Structure 1
Amino acid sequence: MKLKNNRISFYSTKNILVIILILISYTSCEEFVDLDLPPDLINTDKVFENEGSAQAAMRGIYAYSSSSSAITSMFKFVGLSSDELEKLSYNVEETMFATNVIASNSSTISNIWRGFYNIIYQCNNLVLNVSESTNLSEDTKNQLVGEAKFMRAFCYFYLTNLWGDVPLSLVVDYDVVRLLPRSSVAQIYAQIEEDLLDAQNKLSSDLYTTAGERIRANKWAATALLARVRLYQENWADAETQASAVINSGFYELESLTEAFFATSRESIIQLANSSVNRYTFVNLTGSTVAAPTYRLTSFIADNISSDDGRRAEWLTPTLNGVYKYKTYSNTRGPETTEATNILRLAEMYLIRAEARAQQDNVIGLNSAESDLNTIRSRAGLLGTTATTKVTMLQEIYTERTRELFGEWGHRWLDVKRTGQADAIFGANKTGWVSQAALYPIPFDDLERNPNL
């Protein structure tokens, strides 16, 4: 729908979050009609002239993201696409991902694609309106634009790694957005880099707006995501530099395996907050019973986690190797603690730096790939690595990534693809694998609406 005069109601700080999300839903509808609104409404640009409501708009983006199927599907369906996750029984959608024969009319494919683009639209809308605001302070404008650009970069990172060439949308004009062609992976990464560098400059190094919670992006969140981007681009030197900046910032430390996914975890660089008073996340993979976990590791992955590895006891169910990193299924189940969805955490930074150092032939010794890898192994109760060459060290790092990052954000799927091993590994572990399955199909409805795709 198109809102005549583009106005929304301003009731209170408590309600503005819902109002802004409703506005965004209206302005991104597929069919456009004129709609008269009641006379007690104000122009949307006024929302971004007010400190409280502008902050609420940013909180609205995080709130939408925390329950968006684009986010929740990353853990489940992308895990099924790789050789990482399996189930005792599958529905039609799950079967498509597990067998890597995904129809373009898959509702899950559509939900992930549109979910990410919906977040991007909201970020574009905020960047535009905040940048043009004349009442907000420069500090506030920098913070909000920096956060929005971090989230936009985050979404584009997954879009291009799941689909390859995708439309690059930086505006809110429907007539422009609806006919965008696909941009190359290189163009998408260039925009991701630009957004993250700008976010680094704009965001505070120590800003966490709610005491004890790390639910909004700061400079280190942008730096951590940039470290990952540099790794994927094989810019080893800068991947090491960016990861080191986060590790040495003094804001983060590895937690015990038990507390790594708590809302209070000092390992978390940025999390998605739970909605309302919920103690649980939307990405619990175990299900309602530990004895019969909904999602479990395949034997190929589980067999790499030895009995003396603390992650087996802490992060897997006692039976069937169920993924048990997030343990609280609902408000009435689980430990008396609050969990929050980790977007980025410190352990990944050590693994990024280890890989970057190994690629630069800094394999063993002080401040090397060996020392970083052993930091992660030690937390899991394992002895130090025995790898001494670049080839064996890199293989150890890849294996350690599967042990440390399983069940999170489709890391296994992306790692195997970015290292050029998809055909060799998935071909050996998945029946009927074909190279084309490494990229998801663009949703059929979008292909029909946009001939430029």
Structure 2
Amino acid sequence: MRHIYIMFLLFVMTVFSSCNKFLDTVPTDFYSQKNYYETADQLQVALNGVYSNMMYERMYGQVLNFNFSSTTDEMIPNRPPSGEARGLYYSSYNAGHAYIADLWRWPYLGINNANVLIDNINKPTMDEKQRGYIKGQALFLRAYNYFLLTTNFGDVPLILHSPAISDVNIPATPQADIYAHIVSDLKEAETLLEGRTVASLGYNDQVTITAVQAMLAKVYLYWAGYPVNDVSKYADVITYADKVIKSGLHMLNPDYKQVFINLCQDKYDVKENILEWGSAGAAAGETNKTGNDIGNFVGLSSSYVVFDKTSYTAASWISITKKLFDSYEVDPGSTLVNKASLDTRRDWNCPDFYYSSTSTVRVKANRPNVWQMSCGKFRREYCPEASRLNGTYNINWPVIRYSDVLLMKAEAENQVNNGPTQAAYDAINEVRERGYGTKYGNIIKTISMINGGTGYSAASPPIVTISGGGGTGATAEAVVTGTAVTGIKLTSRGNLTTGGPYFSSAPTITIAAPTTGITATATATITTGTEYRLTPGLNKMDFHQAIKDERMREMCFESSRKADLIRWGNFVADMQAFTNYAAANGINVSASGNLNGYQGLAGIDQKHVFLPKPTYELNLNKALIQNPGY
């Protein structure tokens, strides 16, 4: 939203122009609530200002997608546990930490800006539908900021109008009441935003009616979970998830990785991504900011080489976990060190390589050790060339994706009906079908060696060609051990688009002949289109575990895993069990593990379910009570 800069400029002009006449009894040359909000344009500028907070560095620009969510069973830090920022993901923070103070301050700033806008919404003479659209978005943004506060801090003060100077000591409102007000705001927003759809806008980084409905489903899901545990709310999750599903406005992108490539390339995927927080660099409708760290700290590691225009900068301070890697189904007959996965999501999310560099070019290097693999979901190599050298780039943040709605529905159906219904299976299987790449046709399933041949070199492996079978887009690399080809690694199982073409029969695999020796041979199979289906007949407990695993596979690195573990009620026990699992599975092996990440896991205890209320706020607000353990 370009208007955000205009609003900031007006603020700056206000400060400087009013300084010369600050002693005037009735100042007239700067904006206040009394002489602003007089036109529709001024309401829109104010709304843009509320949006702009969301991608600030201490919000989703860095902290919420990195610092507060990077020690779970899907991702752990790999840096030494020192420095102010690193204390957050090593669970060594306290109530005086600046980032925690900002995570309290910035949502309340957004809430205050929304409150002022809502209080003045009826001032200008304007089109009533447009007035309703602005108010509906403001209500959503207020609700979302309260959702951030209560899921991170628990009970928090509920403030619905700009407080007076004397309104300092404001007690916290119980979390259940916070959820109730969030729902109230969202339901009013749903009415006001009727007809405001992603289809009518053409972009998704402003709030639409299905964004409201998806958010209602999410709020009810959290309300049903720990610590409030009002399980009656699971029925409401189904109600609002169904509204999104039945709207016909959303569907899964047939290619999982393309969802995140589109984000890097500033392309709106309004079908898959129900709502994004916008950042500069995209089309109309997004929020201008100076940059963010999406794909940097939690990204595929690389350094920028000035002479190589394909290179980019990403620090990759966070690594995946073996639990995440192993959660994806594999081909048991694969001869690769890390067996090939039947799930296309694994090798995108968990790349077994990184980019090193020489003085002139970036170099792709193998990284077979699972504990040391980068988080590959957001890949800056797909960002515009001019921005690759920077540590920051303006990638939009996916707030709610359609797959999340499907998984919320599946989870709630299982809870409401004391076991999975057909609707629950249909929802989770729709996500899995896309994950396996077979939503619209069949792709290559396996490539098996017949004869490894002789005379090959690991330093210069032979070219693998895939031809025939009716499909396109499949690519592979040969793995050479000694002088023989010992495996074929699929780098693409085929073209994943709505129209295909897909494979109707097994393609031919051709391995280039060595200079001297015997040519290697291999054969391929294609999918049947049923591999994705979850085991039928699961009971309630086993289906719930399947949901937990599927959410990790699908939503990893999107800042939801810690919150999921908390609302499922066993965060500390789950993390302690994972710590034991990690130790038993090589995390503390210096050559192939992640000793730094292991230290981060060891410090988690019950107090980390919520963040501490900031010291500065406790000093100001004497009615506020600190969270236990701090």
Partners of 1:62 and 1:362 lie apart in 2 by 40
1:56 equivalent to 2:45? Answer: yes
Query: Secondary structure of 1:259's partner?
Result: helix
- Distance in 1 (CA, whole Å) between partners of 2:15 and 2:239 is 40
Q: Deviations over 1:275-330 (max 9, x none)?
A: 25689854222166189623222333333234222112223333333223222376
User: Residue type of the partner of 1:264?
Assistant: Y
What amino acid sits opposite 2:108 in the alignment? Y
Contact 1:63 1:275 in 2 (8 A): no
Deviation of the 1:152 alpha carbon:
1.1
Q: Which residue of 2 aligns with 1:242?
A: 240
Contact 1:363 1:390 in 2 (8 A): yes
**Percent identity of paired positions between Structure 1 and Structure 2:** 26
2:543 aligns with 393
CA distance in 2, matches of 1:324, 1:209: 30
1:34-433 correspondence to structure 2 within 5 Å: 40-71=29-60, 72-90=62-80, 91-130=82-121, 132-175=122-165, 178-208=168-198, 211-234=201-224, 235-255=233-253, 256-261=255-260, 262=262, 263-265=267-269, 266-276=271-281, 282-284=293-295, 285-286=298-299, 289=302, 293-306=316-329, 307-319=341-353, 320-328=372-380, 331-332=384-385, 339-361=395-417, 363=419, 366=422, 368-381=423-436, 383-387=532-536, 388-409=538-559, 411-428=560-577, 429=579, 430-433=601-604
Larger Rg: 2
Counterpart of 2:574, as a letter, is I
Q: Distance in 2 between matches of 1:88 and 1:110?
A: 25
Higher helix residue share: 1
Distance change >3 Å, CA 21–CA 210, structure 1 → 2: farther
Contact preservation (8 Å) 1:169, 1:177: no
Output the aligned Cα RMSD.
3.0
Q: AA paired with 1:305? A: Y
Count of residues in Structure 1 that have an aligned counterpart in Structure 2: 430
Q: Secondary structure at the match of 1:146?
A: helix
Counterpart position of 2:469: none
Q: Which deviates more from structure 2 when the two are superposed, residues 224-233 or residues 290-299?
A: 290-299
Displacement of 1:401 in angstroms is 0.6
Q: Is 2:572–2:606's contact at 8 Å kept on the other side of the alignment?
A: yes
- Kept in 1: contact 2:420–2:540 (CA 8 A): no
Which has the larger strand fraction? 2
Stretches of structure 2 lacking an aligned partner (at least 5 in a row): 17-21, 225-232, 283-287, 304-313, 330-340, 354-371, 437-530, 580-600, 625-630
How many Å separate the matches in 2 of 1:403 and 1:236? 23
| Alpha carbons of structure 1 residues 408 and 16: separation in structure 2 relative to 1, 3 Å | same
Contact 1:147 1:217 survives alignment (8 Å) = yes
Mapped partners of 2:153, 2:30: distance in 1:
40
- 2:625 equivalent to 1:449: no
Query: Which whole-Å deviations, capped at 9, do the CAs of 1:391-430 have from their partners, x for residues lacking one?
Result: 1111101111111111113x11111111111122012223
Note the C-alpha offset of 1:75: 1.2
Contact 1:295 1:323 in 2 (8 A): yes
In structure 2, give the amino acid aligned to 1:312. Answer: R
**Cα 1:162–1:214 shift into 2, 3 Å:** same
* Matched AA of 2:620: R
SS of corresponding position for 1:251: coil
Looking at structure 1, the residues matched to 173 and 376 of structure 2 have their Cα atoms a distance apart, in angstroms, of 38
**1:149 Cα shift?**
1.0
In 2, Cα distance between the equivalents of 1:35 and 1:352? 57
Change (3 A) 1:365 1:423: closer
